[in-house]
């Protein structure tokens, strides 16, 4: 009996995943920096761009056998879904009992876990572009700031998280633009820097 393997070609999902990250960190940082108020209009972008767009990108990166993209997009996509759920609990949308017993320090441990994951991803970023390495390093700073702010170590850590998140958004917009334009035109339109390690 003859066996045939069928390979289904799918487009590179990286720009979609990066766009999801860029949008959600932009709107979330605006709230942390005090430029906007409340979480009402952060929630939908956390769910659909931060969450769904990155999870879709992860699924297709699994098909591409791209371990980094699949891991990063699925982990960060699920992070934003979890954050949206946490905000709903905090706002009392899931009942006053949950809201009254919410302990922010539990989120601090989540942020520490994500920081550890991101450190591992950042090490692998040494073999990617310089822009990707810097982006991952900024995400480490974001999770460090979020964790220590959640543990009550002072406003400095909130500010670190806020400014890191804004920098993540702006750099992600650049990286996704470079990824898209360089691929579309087949040449280096926007440079992202050679890897630190070959």
Comparing CA positions, the residue from 90, 16, 86 lying closest to residue 48 is 16
pLDDT at 3: 73
Residue 101 lies in a domain: yes
What distance in Å separates the CA atoms of residue 162 and residue 32, rounded to the nearest whole number?
5
Residue 24 lies in a domain: yes
Comparing CA positions, the residue from 83, 81, 62, 63 lying closest to residue 71 is 62
Tell me what the mean pLDDT of segment 118-141 comes to. Answer: 98
Domain of residue 23, residue span: 14-177
Residue 20 lies in a domain: yes
What 38-41 contacts at long range (C-beta under 8 Å, 24+ apart), as own/partner pairs, is 39/87, 39/90, 39/91
Angle at the Cα of 174 (from 156 to 135), degrees rounded to 5?
A: 45
| Residues 15, 23 contacting (CB under 8 angstroms) | no
Residue 23 lies in a domain: yes
| Residues 29, 165 contacting (CB under 8 angstroms) | yes
What distance in Å separates the CA atoms of residue 136 and residue 93, rounded to the nearest whole number?
33
Q: What is residue 38's three-state secondary structure?
A: coil
What distance in Å separates the CA atoms of residue 85 and residue 43, rounded to the nearest whole number?
9
Give percent of the chain above pLDDT 90: 94
pLDDT at 9: 77
pLDDT at 44: 97
Q: Is 62's pLDDT higher than 90?
A: yes
Angle at the Cα of 49 (from 31 to 59), degrees rounded to 5?
A: 145
Number of domains in the chain: 1
Residue 186 lies in a domain: no
pLDDT at 46: 98
Residue 194 lies in a domain: no
What distance in Å separates the CA atoms of residue 26 and residue 42, rounded to the nearest whole number?
10
pLDDT band at residue 10 using 50, 70 and 90 as cut-offs: confident
pLDDT at 8: 64
pLDDT band at residue 2 using 50, 70 and 90 as cut-offs: confident
pLDDT band at residue 6 using 50, 70 and 90 as cut-offs: low
């Amino acid at each position: 009996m003859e066996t045939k393997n069928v390979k289904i070609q799918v487009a590179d999902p990286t720009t979609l995943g990066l766009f999801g990250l860029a949008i959600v960190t932009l709107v979330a940082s605006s709230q942390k920096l005090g430029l906007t108020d409340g979480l009402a209009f952060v929630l939908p972008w956390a769910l659909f761009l931060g969450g769904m767009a990155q999870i879709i990108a992860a699924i297709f990166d699994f098909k591409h056998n791209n371990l980094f993209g699949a891991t990063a997009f699925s982990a960060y996509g699920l992070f934003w879904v979890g954050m949206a759920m946490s905000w709903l609990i905090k706002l009392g949308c899931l009942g006053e009992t949950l809201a009254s017993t919410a302990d922010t320090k539990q989120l601090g441990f989540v942020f520490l876990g994500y920081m550890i994951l991101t450190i591992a991803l950042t090490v692998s970023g040494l073999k990617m572009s310089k822009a990707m390495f810097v982006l991952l390093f900024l995400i480490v700073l974001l999770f460090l700031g979020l964790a220590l702010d959640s543990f009550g170590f002072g406003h400095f850590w909130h500010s670190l998280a806020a400014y890191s998140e804004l920098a993540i958004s702006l750099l992600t917009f650049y990286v996704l633009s470079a990824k898209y334009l360089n691929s579309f035109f087949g040449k280096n339109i926007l440079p992202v820097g050679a890897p630190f390690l070959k």
